[in-house]
Amino acid sequence: MPSINLFSLEGKKIAFSGATGVLGTTMALHLASQGAELLILGRSPEKVDQLVNEINASGGKAFGYFADVTDEDSLEKVAKVIESHHGHIDVLINSAGGNMPGAVIRPDQNFLDLDTASLRKVMDLNYLGTVLPIKAFLPLMLKQGKGNILNVSSMAASRPMTRVMGYAAAKAAIDNLTKWLSVELAQKHGPDFRVNAIAPGFFLTEQNRTLLTEADGSLTQRGNQIKTHTPMNRFGKPEDLLGALQWLCSDASAFVTGTIVAVDGGFSAYSGV
């Protein structure tokens, strides 16, 4: 029998929101290096163009499209353009997300200090910013009778963290959506539709750097607490996500759906004693 590479991504058309962030960029570059065709979706033309140019300059294949993941009309317009250019997509990665200061409860604050407007924006970005792209791009999967959706969750979803109330609630909603949608699509559209999520542990990004490190690069009290509670005793590196990413985007995970894969150095397994 001929050898089959179950983990191959060669020729797969992957639409990717949130690809211009620290983690997303590493993920996108890896997928392109594995032969995938990247359709980079973002609201900043400058950032999207920069990533697309980097991928193409390194021998990969990428195209840039501009839309706000919280704007349903713009997503539907982009989906039509992508359909006219590419016909269908094989994988949709929903990595857009983030937090806002007003949805964080600092040690010197309490719940009554929560800014409702900021909370709403965090929920819109993280939750609707996943729901709406799925709604817009699912028809490009339905037309070929198969599709693979990969959401990005967080350790904050299953282990609610102090301070990040809004972000944790939004990511908990992503976990629920991932499981619910996996059943919905498989039962109504067949076994070739899958929905999973990656739940990163603690990675240093531009969004959390000031929470975890001091100006001189040393760890804050919170940074030390997190590192101590991670059995591998370190923060994650963007490259640590690539194995799970490749597995979930490839046919090697063909019978995997409704699963949230923790990439956290053991954080979720450790009780602290």
DSSP summary character for residue 219 = B
What distances in angstroms separate CA 212 from CA 26, 204, 207, 225, one per listed residue? Answer: 21, 8, 10, 9
Catalytic machinery residues: 167
Integer Cα distance of 37 and 47 in angstroms: 18
One-character DSSP codes across 54-122: HHHHTT-EEEEEE--TT-HHHHHHHHHHHHHHHS--SEEEE------GGG---TT--GGG--HHHHHHH
**For residue 214, what is the DSSP state?**
-
Run of H or E including 47? helix 45-57
Handedness of CA 41, 134, 262, 118 (dihedral sign): positive
